[in-house]
Chain A
């Protein structure tokens, strides 16, 4: 959030060429009138993604429907030197789809065809605008589903999942998006179309899909994606355990996993998030509890039954005051609905809030939670906690009221402190929401100068002109070809083409 190190005006990119009528005419020729948005009021509805505290107006929004159209648009951007920013459903929480002012915003919300379903080989091929949940809905009747399930799965797009390497409650057992993308057709920043990975697993050569997934739109745009789908497990048990405090719930998580049980998902919500979720969706959580643990076990029937008994025993030993099993699919869905609505539901208990995303070692859970509580008290702000406890992915929600003088600044500072606490405990500044615009200032907290230079090498190799989502992920970005260290003018600066602010 707070870019404490960098100066606020980081207009590092060369002056952006204007979207002239000639360029608009070219775009219209490629996409049809219907696929190009130039009206100011309309452009402004694209000025934020799911992180509404940042906004910037794109120069033009285009709505392609095919790989070829994306390629043509990107080629035009490359030729004219105009930055482009891809956007899926616009639900990201790190400002990854925030327009670079004056850019070509490539909205992929019309590329929502499921192109092929290959059940015997457990693969589907989709366009990037396809909604995550729609993949599962499509293959569910045949007994399959798509495993990565971010809480926004009912609206977020597969393209966005690739950009952020999205996780979700079930990635503890099943892995993140990167573990489910086998291949992609991508439009690179120069407008070339390349196929990364493919239908088979573990292709020779570099793990290019691995590099592309999680690159937050800085390496190009995936336009056709080969996704793995998995068999629905024979048995699923979803249980809710109530604890007097998050400490006890955290202890139960450590005990369960140390005890050799690998749940499909294991989630903790604290008192404040329980209250928010209850207000929003009436999930039937015990409102007096200090923490709720949601556990899902899946597999073959006898295994699940045995594990369920084990987990119950661990929970009770850790001090669970209630243990409840979902008896029907509806009850299961309702238990999850409360958890998955938690972020948006925070609006029910606070006028404003910052959703934070950090990772810690599972074993540090209790200590970090106590630290967060102490920080909250010091800043005079409430912090609600929801987290994927199994892999230590915390989502503290810093609650504030922007009408209070200085509240936002304090909330931002607190959110930053929480991240530093995560890193200090041996964790990371983001689990699944990405770095985007929001956390680029924290990259140096995690990475050394040499680490960062390696990232830059890769980026510059694929996008030497820095046109693909240029402002994101890295803090004090350099023009490609510039080496770290003592300031030396870049050739473009000396030539008067680019300017450094």
Chain B
């Protein structure tokens, strides 16, 4: 006979979570088990298993909270498999804050469920590299040499592809083409750009880590567009990593250390608004207030900081355009980065900005709410599901027959570009701000055909 459990008497059991910020029971109990989250969950789409769905994961959290299951490596596996795309948060009719639940669960696992040595080393490598733009730049010549010499072809040979560790190959696969002249191209952010007309707002721009090393042209475009649209861009010196990668991976201590330093850096520049062009970073920046709520020295400052954070599209779309736009005759597929669409609820603004560009035809691929598999460093940690999701995304994008792919997150662009290339249909990729910048300046974009048969 089935057991009736309306009245939970969990008192007898001791939670498997430790006392430091466990997932909140009240949020867990908001879940009414309706299952509306399932079809938007990438891992449920892949595997069709309850414990790899948001509802199942919340169930596991509840069982662990009630002390009915322990945080075994197997249980951890189901949380590790979560991409953190937050599509379930958008889909949930009951308003369950799964984002807060999973973010509270991950550090618990890092503390209480030790990982095997190899995994620990691999993670240590990732987190001692990606949040550090200087270290990444230091590696650029080596990567350049790797790509220009025959080494890349050797690694991509079938023999080695079958023998090298999947995680290593995953990292190799999403590596963007390296250009050496990028080294040190950061100075623009340290100079003040003052518009001709009365400035709208003082804006500090977050440079990002991967963004500033591999996509410095996105940052350059961001600063140019802001200036021509009448914003005063103030330099924010010595800004480091925002902590998004660490926080999303449960490395709470490390992530919060980055967060505090970033708050210090931006406070010195006294901006009215903080513009972010990386969806994942923006999402975490907006959460600083919540993340640092227990820190007496930072709680108030973090809340003030978070209140100023705007995605670049959010900021620009809030005011009518000033500079004239020149036509770009191309068809682009717009991909919603999960941390924009689900993390920040931003879908309208980037499309509005793109629609300001005359001649630009915007395609909407199917399954827009499904993650591409990049998910921060997920594609490096769990290459197999990430690759399957990437292939699925690439197929949906190609079905719209675009000339280029546009997305507001470097991770998505690298991931999807790699999947498109594997399907034999590489596409040029852009951040929306690059298109806007090119349109304002009236210059062609490398790789984008300036005439297109798709234009009506």
Residue of B50, B60, B75 with most partner-chain A CB within 10 A: B50
Q: How many residues of chain B get a CB closer than 8 Å to chain A's CBs?
A: 37
Q: Can you name the residue of chain B whose Cβ is closest to the Cβ of A53? A: B6
Interface residues of B in 1-54 (CB under 8 A from A): 1-7, 29-30, 32-36, 38-39, 44, 47-51
Residue B444, interface by CB 8 Å: no
Against B, the Cβ 8 Å flags (1 = close, 0 = not) of A85-102 are: 000011100010011010
Taking A63-B49, A344-B36 as contacts, is the C-beta distance between A11 and B93 under 8 angstroms? no
**Which residues of the partner chain B approach A341 to less than 8 Å between Cβ atoms?**
36, 93
| Smallest beta-carbon distance B11→chain A, Å | 14
A52 B38 Cβ-Cβ under 8 A: no
Binary flags per residue of A270-304, CB closer than 8 Å to B gives 1, else 0: 00000000011100000000000000000000000
Q: Answer yes or no: B113 CB below 8 A from chain A CBs.
A: no
> Is B50 within 8 A of A8, CB to CB?
no
Q: How far is the CA of A471 from the CA of B56 in the complex (A)?
A: 24
How many chain A residues touch B (Cβ–Cβ < 8 Å)?
Answer: 55
Q: Which of A134-193 contact B (CB under 8 A)?
A: 152, 154-156
A321 at interface by CB-CB < 8 Å: no
Give B55-96 interface residues, CB cut-off 8 Å to A: 55-56, 59-60, 63, 68-69, 72, 74-75, 78, 92-95
Interface positions of B from 363 to 394, Cβ below 8 Å from A: none
Instruction: Say yes or no: B34 contacts A91, CB within 8 Å.
Output: yes
Contact flags A196-207 to B (C-beta < 8 A → 1, else 0): 000000000000
The answer to whether B32 touches A344 (Cβ under 8 A) is: yes
One of B2, B39, B68 near A44 (C-beta < 8 A)? B68
CB distance from B13 to the nearest CB of A (A): 14
Q: Min CB distance, B166 to chain A, in Å? A: 17
Contact B94–A347 (Cβ < 8 Å): yes
Most buried by B among A45, A54, A156: A45
Cα(A281)–Cα(B63), bound, Å = 30
Chain B hits for A131, CB < 8 A? 39
| Segment from A24-32, A106-114, A231-239, A245-253 that makes contact with B | A106-114
Please state if B48 and A63 are interface contacts (CB–CB under 8 Å): yes
- In the complex, residue of chain B having the shortest beta-carbon distance to the beta carbon of A129: B48
Contact between A55 and B95, CB atoms less than 8 A apart: no
Option from A37, A107, A347 in Cβ contact (under 8 Å) with B95: A347
Closest-CB distance, A470 to chain B (whole angstroms): 12
Interface string of A336-378 (1 = CB under 8 A from B): 0000010111111001100000000000000000000000000
Note all chain A residues with C-beta closer than 8 A to B44: 109
Tell me the bound Cα distance from A11 to B38 in angstroms. 32
Which of B33, B49, B60 lies in contact with A52, CB distance below 8 A?
Answer: B33
Tell me, yes or no, whether A68 is within 8 Å of chain B by CB. Answer: no
Nearest-Cβ distance from residue A8 to partner chain B, whole angstroms: 7
- Compute how far the CA of A54 lies from the CA of B2 in the bound complex, rounded to whole angstroms: 6
Q: Please, which residues of chain B bring their CB within 8 A of the CB of A37? A: 49, 51
User: B280-307, CB under 8 A of A: which get 1 and which 0?
Assistant: 0000000000000000000000000000
Smallest Cβ-Cβ distance to A409: which chain B residue:
B6
CB of A44 within 8 A of CB of B1, answer no
Please provide the 7 A-B residue pairs with the shortest distance between their CB atoms, ordered closest to farther.
A344-B93, A109-B48, A347-B94, A52-B33, A45-B56, A56-B2, A341-B93
4 additional A-B pairs beyond A91-B36, A344-B94, beta carbons within 8 Å, are A37-B51, A53-B5, A90-B55, A280-B94
